[in-house]
Amino acid sequence: MILIIDDDTAVQASLNLMLKQEGYQVKVSKLPQEGLQYLSDFPIDLVLLDMNFSNNTSGEEGLKTLQRIRQIAPQIPVILITGWATVPLAVEGMKIGASDFIGKPWDNQQLLQTVKTTLSLKQQNSKGNLSRSELDHKYRFDFMVGEDPAFVNILETVGRISATEAPVLIYGESGTGKELIAEAIHRNSNRTEQPFVKVNLGGISSSLFESEMFGHKKGAFTDAHFDRKGRFELANQGTIFLDEIGELDLNCQVKLLRVLQDKTYEVLGDSKTRKVDTRVICATNRPLEKMIETKQFREDLFYRINLITIKLPALRERPTDIPLLALHFLDNLKRSYGYSSLTITPSALNWLQQLHFPGNVRELKNLVERTVLISNKKILDIDDFSSQVQKITVSEMSSQLPPSNLTLDEMEELMIRKNINLYHNNLTKVAKALGLSRGSLYRRLDKYGIPYDVQN
């Protein structure tokens, strides 16, 4: 049963009719106090709560009502109803514990999808733990490697949320497999037959953001020689994966927020507003909560993208998976290069398990591939892998430290130039060595006037 708490009779009638037509039982309350009583008198599964009442348009009464609901029935999800101009009020509600918020005027299908998703998540959260074999039987996880308990718990979460439309935010260090998790969500969703569009936001400049994401018409700007579809249009009916969302500047964050909030956008050079239906999954290796405090990331965007949060463990936190992953990568190489027999000795697998991989799964994959190609042996042992692991002695590390009399900017520029020389202008390796995304590295290269080729 869904409880509507709103003193606007037109809103009550509209929501009541729409929800009942979808088969939901509905209870309507005009006053917050009456609604709170209904929580005790009826089996309420979800609350739709307006934030502004006629006697108090500040939203204060709505927030107080939300706080009381969280105290009385913390297990019942609450969806807030608010105008776009009062989104900051909804953000305050999300901090208190609201599940989601929708703006007025709302789109009926979007509102119904939000209700369906919220109720589905509530039901899914009551499920118990499953083993890796049970998960493999129930979901499409054949391409996911790992049996560590922490990783298996993540897979269970992925399985439970995939069938919903909830936006997902994936946290994890570089190389932990955020894209694979996003793909797993898509593969196990109702959109699996539709497009899965991947976007590296760190590689899109702010000047090209609208064109890349929303598309443009021929003649929209100087170099627009033909019509181009944006990423959201390509992902319509499917899933869009926004990687490195923490790299977006504030102006682009506003533009992204509007399409996520309203499910509409405009193509550059075309005044027609278009609707989009896509599941949104975001990923980052940056601390967005801290970035909110320093005004680098919008709080309202943060609460729009992280209804579900998945935090991927670093490879050092799941060391028992290292041998499994190494053998998995070896099998892939055997198929790719046509090697009939390739093995890694048990002692080498144990040695790999003891290593620290700052680059996580991606670094392990690169190590296995490099060792296979360079050693040219059928049986790989410790010596084969150890010869490919870069060892930096204390003296070498000391020689790389910048002089202590430099400013922070000078030190940063020096380290970037050293790594560019070290990796022979391979910007992917430079960014990885410095712990930066390519987009962040480009901005620093521009800042210090360091020439570069985007193809490297």
* DSSP 3-state of 29: strand
What is the pLDDT at residue 84? 54
User: Do 282 and 417 fall into the same domain?
Assistant: no
- Give 393's DSSP letter: -
Contact 224, 269 (CB under 8 A): yes
User: Do 292 and 319 fall into the same domain?
Assistant: no
| CATH code of 378's domain | 1.10.8.60
* Token pair for 265: 């956008």
User: Do 175 and 120 fall into the same domain?
Assistant: no
- Where is the domain boundary, 90, 124, 158? 124
- Kindly report the CA angle at 156 between 151 and 162, in degrees rounded to 5? 120
User: Do 435 and 338 fall into the same domain?
Assistant: no
Tally DSSP H helices, then E strands, for the chain: 21, 16
Instruction: Reply yes or no on whether the pLDDT at 216 is more than 90.
Output: no
Could you tell me if residue 409 is inside a domain?
A: yes
- Where is the domain boundary, 87, 104, 124? 124
User: Do 354 and 283 fall into the same domain?
Assistant: no
Residue of 448, 89, 438 whose CA lies nearest to 285: 438
Distance CA 109, CA 453 (A): 46
User: Do 233 and 378 fall into the same domain?
Assistant: no
pLDDT tens-digit series, residues 27-43? 999 888 999 999 989 99
* Token pair for 158: 């992925």
Domain that holds residue 223: 132-311
- Where is the domain boundary, 311, 327, 352? 311
| CATH code of 304's domain | 3.40.50.300
Distance CA 153, CA 251 (A): 36
What is the pLDDT at residue 281? 97
pLDDT tens-digit series, residues 73-100? 988 999 998 865 466 777 888 888 898 8
Instruction: Reply yes or no on whether the pLDDT at 206 is more than 70.
Output: yes
User: Do 329 and 205 fall into the same domain?
Assistant: no
Instruction: Reply yes or no on whether the pLDDT at 318 is more than 70.
Output: yes
The whole-chain average pLDDT of the chain stands at 87
Could you tell me if residue 392 is inside a domain?
A: no
Instruction: Reply yes or no on whether the pLDDT at 225 is more than 60.
Output: yes
Could you tell me if residue 410 is inside a domain?
A: yes
* DSSP 3-state of 54: coil
CA distances from 454 to 226, 405, 426 (A): 23, 32, 10
Please give the tally of structural domains in the chain.
4
Could you tell me if residue 391 is inside a domain?
A: no
User: Do 93 and 142 fall into the same domain?
Assistant: no
- Kindly report the CA angle at 119 between 137 and 115, in degrees rounded to 5? 125
What confidence tier does 170 reach under pLDDT thresholds 50, 70, 90? Answer: very high
What is the pLDDT at residue 399? 45
| CATH code of 70's domain | 3.40.50.2300
pTM of the model: 0.75
Could you tell me if residue 295 is inside a domain?
A: yes
- Give 268's DSSP letter: B
CA distances from 82 to 63, 91, 102, 302, 349 (A): 12, 10, 6, 17, 56
Instruction: Reply yes or no on whether the pLDDT at 157 is more than 80.
Output: yes
Residue of 209, 224, 308 whose CA lies nearest to 265: 209
CA-based torsion, 423, 429, 430, 435: positive or negative: negative
User: Do 40 and 79 fall into the same domain?
Assistant: yes
What is the Cβ-side half-sphere exposure of residue 111, based on CA atoms within 13 angstroms? 20
What is the pLDDT at residue 398? 43
* Token pair for 88: 């900051």
Distance CA 214, CA 115 (A): 27
Contact 166, 281 (CB under 8 A): no
| Distant-in-sequence, close-in-space partners of 94: CB < 8 Å, separation ≥ 6 | 80, 100, 101, 303
User: Do 438 and 338 fall into the same domain?
Assistant: no
User: Do 321 and 302 fall into the same domain?
Assistant: no
User: Do 236 and 253 fall into the same domain?
Assistant: yes
Could you tell me if residue 453 is inside a domain?
A: no
